[in-house]
Amino acid sequence: MKLLIKGTCLLLAATIVISCATVPLTGRRQLSLVDEGEIQQQAALAYKDFLGDSKTKVVKGTSQAQTVQRVGKNIAGAVTRFLQENGYGDQYDFSWEFTLVDDDQINAWCMPGGKVAVYSGILPVTKNDAGLATVMGHEVAHAIAKHSAERMSQSIIAQAGGAAVDVATSEKSNTTRAVLNTAYGLGGQLALLSYSRNQESEADRLGLVFMAMAGYNPNEAVGFWERMAQAKQTQGGGAPPEFLSTHPSDARRINNIQKLIPEAMGYYKK
């Protein structure tokens, strides 16, 4: 039994070492066990289904919709230049789409492959083009850093590790097994939350660079996140303790962004 567990652990360790990729700019090594091309194909289908859903109200032809398109194209152009200038151009084949959705949610997202949705509810918080560029740069950064693929890969390893724990405790009492598996599950969950917070911070860093290259002053990002924090308080949504949250606390995020601005200003082109 011990040999089986040891072999499983060695196999997992070898898989982790072999299956790694590098995030542009940050240089962080990340786990990559899934095919990015397949994820992008599925994302494109999901995006199409989302836009075609009767509950989704796509906004076209308005000044706000045109703003989303304009800022989105500027960010996409900056991302393309950044990737080409840093030797990553051949690793990305994005088909960009930018859509404004009539929805009161304060939200925006970017699927793998460059499928972006901006909810109208976030526009009062963005206030201007630079604020919108902050949001879109951040969300696009998640796709460029392939965070979705990384999270899927982490889940695969977590599930494999959980199976190993279950085998290792098969001869223990039901109570002992329950305690051990619960401890493993909680530990694994907190580890994944930590990874998610790291990904958020990484997206902040990349997003600042992208908005700067697109011609938007990175200093404007601080104001946006301050407004976002205020909007959350106005809505009455209590934030969980940071160690149990997938996002950094508002104060920590704003503080980190202020530290990252000098780097981003090196890319700023008015």
Domain count for the chain:
1
**217 pLDDT more than 50:** yes
Query: In this predicted structure, which of 3-17, 47-61, 100-114 has the lowest mean pLDDT?
Result: 3-17
pLDDT confidence of residue 82: 94
**38 pLDDT more than 90:** no
* Assigned token pair, 136: 């879109």
Catalytic residue among 139, 200, 202, 220: 139
Q: Select, from the ranges 2-6, 212-216, 231-235, 241-245, the one with the highest average predicted confidence (pLDDT).
A: 212-216
Query: In this predicted structure, which of 35-44, 187-196, 198-207, 238-247 has the lowest mean pLDDT?
Result: 187-196
What is the rounded distance in angstroms from the CA atom of residue 123 to the CA atom of residue 42?
A: 28
pLDDT confidence of residue 107: 92
Q: Is residue 86 part of a domain?
A: yes
What mean pLDDT do residues 45-66 have? Answer: 96
Q: Is residue 77 part of a domain?
A: yes
pLDDT confidence of residue 141: 94
pLDDT confidence of residue 194: 53
* Assigned token pair, 122: 């976030």
What is the rounded distance in angstroms from the CA atom of residue 33 to the CA atom of residue 56?
A: 33
What mean pLDDT do residues 165-188 have? Answer: 45
pLDDT confidence of residue 90: 81
Count of CA atoms in the C-beta half-sphere (13 A) of 172? 14
Q: Is residue 67 part of a domain?
A: yes
pLDDT confidence of residue 135: 96
pLDDT confidence of residue 30: 63
Q: Is residue 49 part of a domain?
A: yes
What mean pLDDT do residues 85-113 have? Answer: 92
Task: Work out the pLDDT band at 70, boundaries 50, 70, 90.
Answer: very high
| Residue 115 near residue 43 (C-beta atoms within 8 A) | yes
What mean pLDDT do residues 181-197 have? Answer: 52
Q: Is residue 204 part of a domain?
A: yes
Q: Is residue 181 part of a domain?
A: no
**173 pLDDT more than 70:** no
Q: What is the dihedral of CA 224, 229, 234, 237, to 10 degrees?
A: 140
Q: Which residue do the tokens 């303790």 mark?
A: 241
> What's the chain's average pLDDT?
80
> Which domain, by its residues, includes 53?
29-149+192-265
* Assigned token pair, 224: 């946006």
Q: Select, from the ranges 4-13, 85-94, 239-248, the one with the highest average predicted confidence (pLDDT).
A: 85-94
What mean pLDDT do residues 230-242 have? Answer: 71
Q: Is residue 237 part of a domain?
A: yes
Sequence-distant (6+) residues with CB within 8 A of 225 are 134, 250, 253, 254, 257
State the CB neighbour count (10 A cutoff) for residue 87: 9
pLDDT confidence of residue 29: 78
DSSP symbol at 28: -
First-to-last C-alpha distance (Å) of the chain: 64
The beta strand positions in 69-226, using DSSP E, are 97-101, 108-111, 115-119
pLDDT in tens, 81-93: 999 999 987 888 8
Q: Is residue 201 part of a domain?
A: yes
| Residue 16 near residue 157 (C-beta atoms within 8 A) | yes
- Give residue 23's identity as a one-letter amino acid code: V
* Residue 139 is among the residues annotated as catalytic for this protein: yes
Buried b (16+ CB within 10 A) or exposed e, 138-156: bbbbbbbbbbbbbbebbeb
